[in-house]
Structure 1
Amino acid sequence: MRNWLVVPAMLLCLLATGCNTVARNETSPSPQNDNRVRAQQTAPQKKTISNPKQVAAHLEDLARGVPGVKGAHCVVFKNTAVVGIDVAGNVDRSRVGTIKYAVAEALRKDPYGINAVVTADIDLSHRLTELGADIRRGRPIAGFGEEMADIIGRIVPQIPRDVQPMKAEPQKARSKAQQKLEHRS
């Protein structure tokens, strides 16, 4: 009885699968018969950055030209630019996102800014300012290392389970507590 049901079920599955494949082949257009217009992507290609200071100043000017941007700070490291923007403190979050998007659009049209990173975070923007000052003072690597350590320190979460208590202080605290108990007895 069981074999009698298995054979028709398998035939039904094969029939359904075969019909589905035929229908799909009939509706898919052939690339040879496709008369639609095709266009090449014309987005600007990223240029190699040979003068980081000049490119940083250029990208800062582009960002400052966007309405709502009070100031801009750019740091170029190798072939990557990070642009921090300052906006008014009373601007709500959705408007800040709109301004940041407008800056990204402005940079997208520039061959140096096509792959730039834009941030409106106050802390990151301030750190970019400090990093730019370190670069101008002639200490780009040390300044970069310090600022990256600060940024990563703010991003990495602190998990209570991973915190190891200091061994010296709890023993001192316990011994003082024991001393107080001994004095009371």
Structure 2
Amino acid sequence: MLKWLTSAIIVAIVATGCNTVARNETSPSPQSNGRVEAQQTDPRKKEIKNSEQVAVHLEQLAKGINGVRNAHCVVLGNTAIVGIDVDARMERSRVGTIKYSVAEAFRKDPYGIDALVTADMDLQQRLNEIGADIRRGRPLAGFAEELADIMGRIVPQLPRDVLPQEPGRQELQR
């Protein structure tokens, strides 16, 4: 019995060893590093030289999607942020579909390939105001004001941080 068990173990080890060798022979050798280079087929992002022209172009592209009532675009450096205006009573899933359709249209456009698309009503309006400030010649101030307003809405208000008002002092609450 012991001879039979020893023979079976030896056969199993030899069979396993042969299997491993065969597998190693079929795998590519690290020394034969044959480089394969693939060409990119996705549209490449173009460098934005005229941000106002690109903003108008992306707004028109977004407005061409069914369900988009209006669009506002702000270009920051080489990135565009596009806010789309949809019917406020529209279901969330439908809004998501429209936003996806806009992103799909942008994917085929070299200026829109890396654009950010939002359907948030507040952000869309703020993008409109930033765009108006840029056209008025105050891009940094307008952006800083809107960013401060956005942050003011995002940062939570903790009741522990609220100080009681002095009796003689009346202030408007935002």
Is the shorter-chain TM-score for this pair beyond 0.5, marking a shared fold? yes
Q: What RMSD over aligned residues (CA atoms) do the two structures have, in Å?
A: 3.1
Q: Deviations over 1:9-41 (max 9, x none)?
A: xxxxxx9xx99xx59x56x95489xxxxx9643
Between Structure 1 and Structure 2, the one with more helix by share is: 1
Aligned equivalent of 1:179: none
The answer for unaligned runs of 5 or more in structure 2 is: 1-12, 31-36, 169-174
Indicate how the Cα distance of structure 1 residues 40 and 143 shifts in structure 2: closer, same or farther if over 3 A, else same: same
| Secondary structure of the structure 2 residue equivalent to 1:94 | helix
> In structure 1, what is the equivalent of residue 163 of structure 2?
165
Alignment of 1:76-155 (within 5 A): 76-155=75-154
- Compute the TM-score of the two structures, normalised by the length of structure 2: 0.73
Identity %: 62
Equivalent residues in 2 for 1:28-47 (5 A)?
30=28, 40-47=39-46
Report the CA distance between 1:158 and its aligned residue: 2.4
Match of 2:68 in 1: 69
Partner Cα separation in structure 1 for residue 147 and residue 27 of structure 2: 52
Letter in 2 for 1:95: R
Secondary structure of 2:90 counterpart: coil
CA distance 1:83–1:31, shift in 2 (3 Å): farther
Count of aligned pairs between the two proteins: 147
> Partners in 2 of 1:154 and 1:30 — Cα distance?
57
DSSP-derived class of the 2:100 partner: helix
**Per the alignment, do residues 141 and 39 of structure 1 end up closer, same or farther by CA in structure 2, a change over 3 Å counting?**
same
